[in-house]
Chains A and B, each alone.
Chain A
Amino acid sequence: MSRASLKEKLPILITASVLVLLTLAAGLRFDNFLSLRVLMNLIADNAFLGVIAVGLTFVILTGGIDLSVGSMMGLGGIVAAELITVSHVHPLIALLVPIAVGGFLGWGQGTLIAKLGLPPFLVTLSGLFLCRGIALAISRESVQIEHPFFRTLTNWSVSLPAKASLSLGSIVFILVVFGGMILARQSRFGRTVYAIGGNANSAELMGLPVRRTLVWTYVLSGMCAGLGGVLFALYTSSGNAISGTGLELDAIATVVIGGTLLSGGYGSVLGTLLGVLTLGVVQTAITFMGTLSSWWTRIVIGTLLLFFMLVQKVIELAARRGQTT
């Protein structure tokens, strides 16, 4: 492996090793941990986070950031719930609306960022407030979703051996991961995203559609956040305006743990998947322990994040040294 491709491949290898080690450690500690059922539950529990993280990966690969995803998810959930329960729209349509809303808001943010040159951090921070405000204005209370077709959707699952099953949300998550991988690796859009992260100025001078691509990354992230809201509504059978509070942090942490550099240009959707699974294993292990309280999850995630940031730092230094000699 050459020094330069070290920077690309090593982080994901480390993430994979950590994931395997954590899983094995938990498997040794708890009897039922290493089962298909636990794995499937873990995926079902984190499907919404995973979908959001995949969208966010593209934004971060360009060197941008999207802080609005958590509240956009909350908005998506409440919009879906309100449409079904209050406006009696058929779920099939009602569940598509949040994706469109997310895409539209993402387009707005992307336009401000790419066309008018406002800092992504600030625009999406405003987006966070905006979405949360709109969501709360729609309904301050949690809205239960009651609809026969919707119930069919929430209960629908593919049965697997060993009492495991794959929920609709999990399937959507897996599809999104595959779609994201293909988009990143096989499409011009995806390659332009990497090019922008490498050097946006150069990418522009190379004649690549930098601004348009940037706008689309935020649209994609917004749509994924909307879809995350739909999955969360399916998962909880309700919509809640304050759901997804602080989720942007989990999503960013997931992407970073998955080996994507926040400065852009390096990373992968596969890495993000591993990041989601790592987070899931930590959460599940802490639930298995029973005695440990939930705040330990935060501390463990923080520690993991620190570990991965230090690892990335070391790799970066090594790569730089490789270049000068």
Chain B
Amino acid sequence: MESLLQLQGLEKRFPGTVALDHVDFDLYEGEVHALMGENGAGKSTLIKALTGVHPPDSGTMSLQGKLILPQSPEDAVRHGISTVYQEVNLVPNLTVMENLLLGREPRGPFGIRWKEMRERAESAIARLGLKLDVRAPLSSLSVALQQMVAISRALDVSAKVLILDEPTSSLDSDEVAALFTVIRQLKAQGLGVIFVTHFLDQMYEISDRITVLRNGKKVGTWNATDLPRLELVTQMIGRDASELERSDSVLADAALGSPILETKGLGRRGSVSEVTLSVSPGETVGLAGLLGSGRTETVKLLFGVASPDSGSLKLDGRSLARLKPKSAIRAGIGYCSEDRKREGIFPELTVRENILILAQVKSGWYKPFSLQKQRSMATDLVGRLKVQPADIERPIQTLSGGNQQKALLARWLAVEPRLLLLDEPTRGIDVGAKFEIMALVENLRQAGRSFVFVSSELPEIVRSCTKVLVMRDRKAIKELESGAVSEERIVQEIAGS
């Protein structure tokens, strides 16, 4: 096969870190090349270098033998490098057809030819096997459909290289299958595809070769068939993967005392329904299910961010019409959102302030903590959770995602909630931090705290939960008691077989 894209000795430094350290990478025509690595490995930096978002400090890139140095995404597109991102990068206020063809609209003497545009858009959408009104505003589509439009847009360019940066995280399995069909077609047409994903199954299904990055360096490139899964994970995390084994302690004990929070048939129209669960001290209740199955919506109801319109909710045995975050916090309930950036951190405030703010809100604005007390509390928590760097006066936005997550956990630990709702606490953070967080949760549980734990990674759920509520299609469908929790069983329930 012909070599399409070659990167040599790519280097990118950011203040304080080397994000890419002399990385080589090559891509053949007609191949799907998976780029794997934990967070902070340098995958996104590599992609940003390739798409001109952050041009590299040194090193060369050549496309079909010609040297290129894209200076902006616009420039990269001109070179034939198109990208589909994890978050839908389209404009919500314009129509589907404009989102498909923006910047390359068919034009005549009187400007844009809307009719021709519509026809082209329709055929582009049909190519993905989709049926939708291209004149509808993008914001009227579901996120999955929006993502398909984004992919369609990237395909419409006369692209030579297609970068898929975690494009499947919001798609269901049928949509992923449709996407893969299209990718195979493109492969046949000689397109080179760089595929970044966290889903190993999907990666193995479609990829020809795999390149693993770790800490900004390239670990190696393998043919997908030559690299077994366990070996891949070992290369990615740089240590033995046997630590992923399941813990026994969760099997041992049951709930202590009466439930903290109990719901019966709780639901909210258009969001989630029939959630029946109870959490007692010393329990970790897992919420398992596919993305979009209503897990996040459930914890939001439990914390009072959204108000339920059906079912009942009991806090310490007392019935409540609804909770509000403020009263939930007062009752000792905490919520760590899956969306760190939007719902978690205060970016330009320091790590200390980010950690202490909750404790401060709880004690009231007129009773400020002294700076000394703040420092000692923050330093203590930062140490316990191994937040790196351990500088509490740094703006939290300068920390890596995993460390931000730890700081957010520290925020809740500072007020010692009885029940902490954790929504994907380990998403997008490196394996080391994952283990530390999981171990911490287990320790606290053994000390009598309780958790509701949402995760897309079944091994995590199985490892740490005393019981599991399985969700499907925005409904809680089954509660698995401690003895019944196993990966197979959960998968069966999710699949509905």
A and B touch in the complex (CB under 8 A): yes
Chain A residues engaging chain B, CB cutoff 8 angstroms: 2-5, 7-8, 182, 185-188, 191-192, 194-195, 197-199, 201-209, 265-266, 319, 322-325
Given that A5-B137, A188-B107 are contacting pairs, would A203 and B269 also be in contact in the complex, using a CB cutoff of 8 Å? no
B105 interfacial contact with A, CB 8 Å: yes
* Minimal Cβ-Cβ distance residue in B for A2: B140
Say yes or no: B74 contacts A198, CB within 8 Å. no
Once bound together, how far apart are the Cα atoms of A182 and B83, in whole Å?
31
Given that A3-B140, A8-B137, A186-B110 are contacting pairs, would A265 and B105 also be in contact in the complex, using a CB cutoff of 8 Å? no
Contacts of A324 in B (CB 8 A): 270-271
Contacts of B107 in A (CB 8 A): 188
Partner of A199, one of B72, B74, B76, B90: B90
Say yes or no: B102 contacts A195, CB within 8 Å. yes
Give me 18 A-to-B residue pairs in the complex whose CB atoms sit less than 8 angstroms apart, sorted by A's number. Answer: A2-B137, A4-B136, A4-B140, A186-B110, A187-B112, A188-B105, A188-B112, A195-B102, A197-B93, A198-B91, A199-B89, A202-B89, A203-B91, A206-B90, A207-B74, A207-B78, A265-B93, A323-B139
Once bound together, how far apart are the Cα atoms of A7 and B153, in whole Å?
25
Say yes or no: B140 contacts A325, CB within 8 Å. no
Say yes or no: A205 contacts B112, CB within 8 Å. no
Contacts of A192 in B (CB 8 A): 102-103
Contacts of A325 in B (CB 8 A): 269-270
Once bound together, how far apart are the Cα atoms of A201 and B105, in whole Å?
20
B204 interfacial contact with A, CB 8 Å: no
The 6 A-B pairs of least Cβ separation, nearest first, read: A186-B111, A198-B91, A207-B77, A198-B93, A265-B93, A4-B137
In the complex, what's the smallest C-beta–C-beta distance from A156 to chain B, in angstroms? 30
Contacts of B88 in A (CB 8 A): 202
Given that A4-B139, A206-B102 are contacting pairs, would A194 and B89 also be in contact in the complex, using a CB cutoff of 8 Å? no
Contacts of B110 in A (CB 8 A): 186
Number of interchain pairs (Cβ within 8 Å): 93
B25 interfacial contact with A, CB 8 Å: no
Say yes or no: A194 contacts B85, CB within 8 Å. no
B259 interfacial contact with A, CB 8 Å: no
Say yes or no: B111 contacts A182, CB within 8 Å. yes
Say yes or no: B91 contacts A202, CB within 8 Å. yes
B73 interfacial contact with A, CB 8 Å: yes
In the complex, what's the smallest C-beta–C-beta distance from B102 to chain A, in angstroms? 6
Once bound together, how far apart are the Cα atoms of A266 and B95, in whole Å?
12
Question: In the complex, which residues 89-108 of chain B have their Cβ closer than 8 Å to any Cβ of chain A?
Answer: 89-94, 98-99, 102-103, 105, 107
Question: In the complex, which residues 47-106 of chain B have their Cβ closer than 8 Å to any Cβ of chain A?
Answer: 72-74, 76-78, 83, 85, 88-94, 98-99, 102-103, 105
Say yes or no: A265 contacts B73, CB within 8 Å. no
Say yes or no: B89 contacts A207, CB within 8 Å. no
In the complex, what's the smallest C-beta–C-beta distance from A147 to chain B, in angstroms? 38
Once bound together, how far apart are the Cα atoms of A185 and B74, in whole Å?
22
Contacts of B270 in A (CB 8 A): 324-325
As a 0/1 sequence over residues 260 to 279 of chain B, the CB contacts with chain A under 8 angstroms (1 = contact) are 00000000011100000000
Chain B residues engaging chain A, CB cutoff 8 angstroms: 72-74, 76-78, 83, 85, 88-94, 98-99, 102-103, 105, 107, 110-112, 136-137, 139-140, 153, 269-271
In the complex, what's the smallest C-beta–C-beta distance from B99 to chain A, in angstroms? 8
* Minimal Cβ-Cβ distance residue in A for B90: A202
In the complex, what's the smallest C-beta–C-beta distance from B116 to chain A, in angstroms? 13
Given that A187-B111, A188-B107, A324-B271 are contacting pairs, would A2 and B136 also be in contact in the complex, using a CB cutoff of 8 Å? yes
Say yes or no: B112 contacts A265, CB within 8 Å. no
In the complex, what's the smallest C-beta–C-beta distance from B478 to chain A, in angstroms? 26
Once bound together, how far apart are the Cα atoms of A150 and B333, in whole Å?
76
Contacts of B72 in A (CB 8 A): 204
Given that A188-B112, A206-B153, A207-B103 are contacting pairs, would A194 and B73 also be in contact in the complex, using a CB cutoff of 8 Å? no
Given that A191-B94, A265-B91, A265-B93 are contacting pairs, would A186 and B140 also be in contact in the complex, using a CB cutoff of 8 Å? no
Most buried by B among A194, A202, A324: A202
Say yes or no: A199 contacts B136, CB within 8 Å. no
* Minimal Cβ-Cβ distance residue in B for A324: B270
Say yes or no: A198 contacts B73, CB within 8 Å. no
Given that A8-B137, A194-B94 are contacting pairs, would A206 and B111 also be in contact in the complex, using a CB cutoff of 8 Å? no
Once bound together, how far apart are the Cα atoms of A186 and B271, in whole Å?
39
Contacts of B137 in A (CB 8 A): 2, 4-5, 8
* Minimal Cβ-Cβ distance residue in B for A189: B111
Once bound together, how far apart are the Cα atoms of A41 and B429, in whole Å?
66
Once bound together, how far apart are the Cα atoms of A209 and B99, in whole Å?
15
Once bound together, how far apart are the Cα atoms of A230 and B234, in whole Å?
72
Once bound together, how far apart are the Cα atoms of A198 and B113, in whole Å?
22
* Minimal Cβ-Cβ distance residue in A for B81: A207
Once bound together, how far apart are the Cα atoms of A324 and B143, in whole Å?
11
Say yes or no: A206 contacts B89, CB within 8 Å. yes
Once bound together, how far apart are the Cα atoms of A7 and B140, in whole Å?
11
Contacts of A265 in B (CB 8 A): 91-93
* Minimal Cβ-Cβ distance residue in A for B52: A207
Say yes or no: B111 contacts A199, CB within 8 Å. no
Partner of A205, one of B89, B94, B99: B89
In the complex, what's the smallest C-beta–C-beta distance from B86 to chain A, in angstroms? 12
Contacts of B77 in A (CB 8 A): 207
Contacts of B78 in A (CB 8 A): 207
Contacts of A319 in B (CB 8 A): 139
Once bound together, how far apart are the Cα atoms of A7 and B74, in whole Å?
30
Say yes or no: A191 contacts B102, CB within 8 Å. yes
In the complex, what's the smallest C-beta–C-beta distance from B156 to chain A, in angstroms? 11
Contacts of B112 in A (CB 8 A): 185-188, 191
